[in-house]
A and B are shown apart, each in its own frame.
Chain A
Amino acid sequence: MTSTPAYEHAIDVQQLHKSFGDNEVLKGIDFHVDDGEVVCVIGPSGSGKSTLLRCVNQLEVPTKGRVLVEGVDMSDPETDLNDVRSRIGMVFQSFNLFPHLTVTANLTLAQRRVKKRGKAEAEKCALKNLARVGLEDKADAYPAHLSGGQQQRVAIARALSMDPDLMLFDEPTSALDPELVGDVLAVMKSLASEGMTMMVVTHEMGFAREVGDKLVFMDEGVIMEEGDPAEVLSNPQHARTQEFLSKVL
């Protein structure tokens, strides 16, 4: 983080289009996230915000346009996709922990298979990251025995165990009971304060205002408005933004 990186933006999305059949979900998105920046993406469901996030690590393959992650073109056939993906942590709305593995095994699997770490080293890293999310006592539990909030924190720890340069969050608290949301947001907040680069698709306006460096409002496949979170939330310029915020705030 001290040396100047050889790329302009950590995530650089240029003229991105994505269609599912006849349905064009993203209609020419230009978007970027800088190193150490926390960018929150909000918008009504169906606005394309999750699709945009999933295009970043190529879980969705863009129809047109470019996605650069740390300067690497993700749609270049020469790109080692798995190598870049291992540097991008991703947290899903539905946690997607591996139910047949213990918490520790969830955290060590990719470390060992992808990063080729030894068992002891991988487990040490797993424990360190479990402590970071406050769940070191659940190391031997299976996901089914954890609450939703705990599962999501394990999922964050799993992503962190790969020592990612940046993190993608796809509505990480939308599937949680309201009283469990706070724990997950607290973990994300502490990550942000440690300088992690984060792209967060969310409905948590409080988090966006407090933690976000930039807020992006999307609707119908285009970015309607972006800027300082407090500014956008309190003084939205676009009519669609005003309408959306009046409904959710």
Chain B
Amino acid sequence: MKRTTKTRLTRGVMYAIFVAAVAALVLAADWPAIQKAFFNVEIARELFPDVVVIAAKNTIIYTAIAFAGGMVLGLVLALMKLSPVAPYRWVATAYIEFFRGLPALLVIFTFAFAVPIAFQWRPPGGSAGAGLLALIIVSAAYIAETIRAGIQAVPKGQVEAAHSLGMPAGWTMVSVVLPQAFRIVIPPLTNELVVLIKDTSLLFIAGMALSQQELTTFARDGVSSVGNSTPLTIAALMYLAVTLPLTRLVAYMERRGARGR
């Protein structure tokens, strides 16, 4: 048998398996049940406008707060990790390893319930605020590592050039290194942002009043009150409407970055 014939035959078999699998799925699926449970137009219609003006809006606000806070804290940690002062490096390393090693859900649960009870502390913004604080703390650990990698990716010659001009270390970092480091880490930072959008769903365990609810909490409450899963479908579509353009943007930026600076 010629090699080309053999290749063509293997291809043919692979297509056949694919078609068979799809056909089996289509035939086996209970389409009316799926439509009734997940795509009920009446129920979907009733979710609007709250799903947008409350839930989606809160998801975006929580993401923005957690990302902004995570960036500030992450930058501080990255600089500490690169500090010539050893104790700063130890603290930063310990922090980063600790919070990257824990499930975000556990940290949120601790801040929303355990910490307020232990210290008689009323978090600003209620348990949602406490949960957000936990998200900031966790995301800072990941963002710190990303920024540190970016700073170290800036060529050594840049720092030497600044020093040779008499620029002190602080100004060199602010005017020469960080602007270049941030350009390098825009794609991975956007990935962190996408992860964070999804992680705001973990705030559901904090237990929130309607006005505070983000998409997942809103959808789950919707499911239990109408006894139908369509709210989950709508929430999923809302997430995708935000995350898909962002992941496409990252792919675009990485392609552009790969073409050379």
* Interface of B toward A, CB cutoff 8 Å: 155, 157-158, 160-168, 171, 175-176, 179-180, 183, 261
Contact = CB atoms under 8 A, between A and B. Distances in A.
Of B166, B176, B179, B180, chain A has the most CB atoms within 10 Å of the CB of B166
A211 interface: no
Given A96-B157, A100-B179, A100-B183, A59 B166 contact: no
Interface stretch (A2-10, A78-86, A219-227, A233-241): A78-86
A88 interface: yes
Contacts of A114: 165-168, 171
A94 B183 CA distance: 21
Interface of A: 57, 59, 82-90, 92, 94, 96-100, 109-110, 113-114, 144, 155, 158-159, 162, 168
B154 to A, nearest CB: 10
Contact of A59 (B164, B168, B175, B179): B164
A69 to B, nearest CB: 12
Contacts, number: 68
Contacts of A87: 166
Contact of A110 (B158, B167, B183, B261): B167
Nearest to A88: B164
Contacts of A98: 158, 161-162, 176, 180
Contacts of A109: 165, 167, 175-176
B97 to A, nearest CB: 29
Nearest to B168: A82
The 10 closest A-B pairs by CB, nearest first: A86-B166, A110-B165, A96-B161, A90-B164, A96-B157, A85-B166, A82-B166, A114-B166, A100-B179, A113-B171
Main secondary structure of the interface of B (DSSP, over half): helix
B176 A159 contact: no
A92 B161 contact: yes
Contact of B165 (A99, A144, A162, A168): A162
Contacts of A89: 164
A92 B157 contact: yes
Contact of A96 (B158, B166, B179): B158
Of A98, A155, A168, chain B has the most CB atoms within 10 Å of the CB of A98
Given A90-B165, A96-B160, A114-B165, 15 more contacts: A59-B160, A82-B167, A82-B168, A85-B166, A86-B165, A92-B157, A94-B157, A97-B161, A100-B179, A109-B175, A110-B162, A110-B166, A114-B166, A114-B167, A162-B166
A19 B261 CA distance: 35
A158 B165 contact: yes
B157 A99 contact: no
15 contacts: A59-B160, A59-B163, A82-B163, A85-B163, A92-B164, A96-B160, A97-B161, A98-B158, A99-B180, A99-B261, A110-B167, A114-B171, A144-B261, A155-B161, A159-B165
